């Protein structure tokens, strides 16, 4: 694997740290992956994409790891993503772009696509997307996800670098306090300071996203990857149903027996581990199912099958 080149992007109020992995072999295009989970930790993914012909720019989001500025989750990703594409284009990195990411990084990809001219974007790949503040705090039926959010925010949501995970007993107790006395009581019990409390309050006061309004007019092809055991599965399906709805089907769904870490529960004869990785790469290369189709790995039959995406639940 070759050493990536530093790629800083000055933008309003921050300098965004990035690493550029140059393609090898025949060039397919450019991939942008913006993450709060440390650009350095994504070198394996970026290297794999580079080996398949993609120039891959991996960037720390504002206020995280190598990027300066203030870390406010779900606040700056549309503007910072657009600024990054503009800076990369000005530096001679040709598009159109594939906007790629998992979990929070999927949010950054979706938001960048929302504000860019469609000619600048070839496709979006959103793996187990964490769509927004409300959508991460509640499941698709509106039920609060106290344990999941206490775990994520205590590690990733409060500072430039990660905090250690809460001990299991502490997390259990905090979850119980949240369920009985409310989420604010839980973080007061944990001893969060006033700034951390304000961030937490913003999370729990956020309104649901109107996915049809936000993404319904986009014509860019979208691949949504979701799993049966992912807490965001319902929201991911609603995203796929809503995306480009004003234009007709624009999203493809890839699903199977895995959770948020995309680790499969089954192996599939003749299909490796049964994970989605090779199918994602196929889709990026123009292979695989088209828009309006869900390609699903059946955990009982241990084989892939295609179905039409249900658009009735789009919100």
Chain segment 247-292, per-residue pLDDT in tens: 888 999 999 999 999 987 665 544 445 578 889 999 999 998 999 9
Q: What is the phi-psi region of residue 296: left when phi exceeds 0, alpha when psi lies from -120 to 50, beta otherwise?
A: beta
Average pLDDT score, the chain: 93
Whether 35 has a pLDDT exceeding 50, the answer reads yes
Distance CA 3, CA 122 (A): 26
pLDDT of residue 195: 94
pLDDT of residue 247: 85
Residue range(s) in the chain whose domain bears CATH number 3.40.50.1820: 5-133+208-308
Whether 85 has a pLDDT exceeding 90, the answer reads yes
pLDDT of residue 270: 46
pLDDT of residue 274: 58
List alpha helices for the chain, DSSP H.
43-51, 77-90, 104-115, 133-137, 146-156, 168-181, 183-190, 194-205, 211-215, 233-242, 277-284
Whether 19 has a pLDDT exceeding 70, the answer reads yes
Whether 188 has a pLDDT exceeding 90, the answer reads yes
Distance CA 132, CA 228 (A): 20
Question: Could you tell me the pTM of the whole model?
Answer: 0.94
- Percentage of the chain beyond pLDDT 90 is 85
CATH number for region 5-133+208-308: 3.40.50.1820
Distances (CA, A) of 159 to 5, 72, 164, 202: 26, 9, 11, 16
* Contacting residues for 66 by C-beta, under 8 A, at least 6 apart: 17, 39, 60
Burial of 260-286, coded b for 16+ CB within 10 Å and e otherwise, reads bebebebebeebeebbbeebbbebbee
What is the token pair recorded at 1?
């694997």
Whether 74 has a pLDDT exceeding 70, the answer reads yes
Q: How much is the average pLDDT of 162-184?
A: 98
User: Which of 21-35, 76-90, 262-276, 277-291 has the least mean pLDDT?
Assistant: 262-276
Distance CA 310, CA 170 (A): 40
Report which of residues 53 and 314 the model is more confident about: 53
Nearest to 118 by CA among 209, 310, 28, 247: 247
Q: Are strands 251-256 and 222-227 parallel, antiparallel or unpaired?
A: parallel
Q: How much is the average pLDDT of 196-217?
A: 96
């Amino acid at each position: 694997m070759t050493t990536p080149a530093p790629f800083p992007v000055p933008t309003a109020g921050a300098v965004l740290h990035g690493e550029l992995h140059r393609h090898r072999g025949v060039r397919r295009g450019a991939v942008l992956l913006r993450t709060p989970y440390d650009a350095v930790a994504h070198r394996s993914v970026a290297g794999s994409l580079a080996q398949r012909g993609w120039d891959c720019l991996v960037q720390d989001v504002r206020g995280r790891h190598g990027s300066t500025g203030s870390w406010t989750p779900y606040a700056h990703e549309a503007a910072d993503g657009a600024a990054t594409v503009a800076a990369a284009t000005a530096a001679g990195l040709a598009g159109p772009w594939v906007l790629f990411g998992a979990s929070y990084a999927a949010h950054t990809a979706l938001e960048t696509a929302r504000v860019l001219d469609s000619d600048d974007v070839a496709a979006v790949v959103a793996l187990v997307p964490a769509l927004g503040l409300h959508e991460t705090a509640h499941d698709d039926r509106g039920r609060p996800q106290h344990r999941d959010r206490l775990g994520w925010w205590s590690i990733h949501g409060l500072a430039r670098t990660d905090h250690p995970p809460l001990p299991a007993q502490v997390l259990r107790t905090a979850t119980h306090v949240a369920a009985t006395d409310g989420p604010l009581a839980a973080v007061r019990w944990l001893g969060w300071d006033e700034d951390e409390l304000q961030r937490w309050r913003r999370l729990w006061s956020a309104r649901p996203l109107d996915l049809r309004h936000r993404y319904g007019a986009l014509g860019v092809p979208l691949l949504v990857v979701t799993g049966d055991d992912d807490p965001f599965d319902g929201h991911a399906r609603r995203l796929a149903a809503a995306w480009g709805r004003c234009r007709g089907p624009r999203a493809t769904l890839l699903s199977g027996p895995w959770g948020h870490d995309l680790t499969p529960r089954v192996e599939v004869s003749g299909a490796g581990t049964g994970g989605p990785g090779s199918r994602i790469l196929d889709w990026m290369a123009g292979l695989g199912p088209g828009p309006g189709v869900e390609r699903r790995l059946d955990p009982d039959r241990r084989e892939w099958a295609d179905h039409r995406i249900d658009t009735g639940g789009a919100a």
